[in-house]
Amino acid sequence: DTAVSQTPKYLVTQMGNDKSIKCEQNLGHDTMYWYKQDSKKFLKIMFSYNNKELIINETVPNRFSPKSPDKAHLNLHINSLELGDSAVYFCASSQAGTNYEQYFGPGTRLTVT
């Protein structure tokens, strides 16, 4: 069984569109994250979220909004897509008390044209 899954794997869209990426984890973890990996492979956290608290990275534009319908799901909605949003987006999860060890999904490659 896949531990952390993301859909879609690839997403090609035009500037100005709104899109969503879905993430699900079946590990029973209490915290989920969204990361952005740029073309130079630098991995940067965007959000972390658990049942009680959403922690927002101040450098993330407010066009990005995480939505968590339940503990096992954390979706990422992006409004008014820009060229600079092109990257690979990774969802991850961790469990409190485990030194924040991350379990990553396979990634979603977003290309904005």
Partner 1 sequence: TQLLEQSPQFLSIQEGENLTVYCNSSSVFSSLQWYRQEPGEGPVLLVTVVTGGEVKKLKRLTFQFGDARKDSSLHITAAQPGDTGLYLCAGANNAGNMLTFGGGTRLMVKP
In 3D space, the residue among 1, 11, 2 whose CA is nearest the CA of residue 104 turns out to be: 2
In 3D space, the residue among 75, 11, 15, 10 whose CA is nearest the CA of residue 46 turns out to be: 75
The answer to the question of residue 106 lying near partner 1 (CB under 8 A) is yes
Instruction: Pick left, alpha or beta for residue 101 (phi over 0 → left; psi -120 to 50 → alpha; otherwise beta).
Output: beta
In angstroms, give the least distance from the CB of 42 to partner 1. Answer: 6
Query: Which residue from 22, 66, 102, 112 is in contact with partner 1, where contact means CB under 8 A?
Result: 102
In 3D space, the residue among 49, 40, 26 whose CA is nearest the CA of residue 88 turns out to be: 40
In angstroms, give the least distance from the CB of 31 to partner 1. Answer: 6
The answer to the question of residue 96 lying near partner 1 (CB under 8 A) is yes
Q: Which C-beta is closer to partner 1: that of 38 or that of 82?
A: 38
Range 3-62, binding partner 1 (CB under 8 A): 4, 31, 33, 40-45, 48, 50, 55
The answer to the question of residue 107 lying near partner 1 (CB under 8 A) is yes
- C-beta neighbour count of 72 within 10 angstroms: 15
Which residues would be at the binding site for partner 1 (CB under 8 A)?
A: 4, 31, 33, 40-45, 48, 50, 55, 90, 92, 94, 96, 99-107
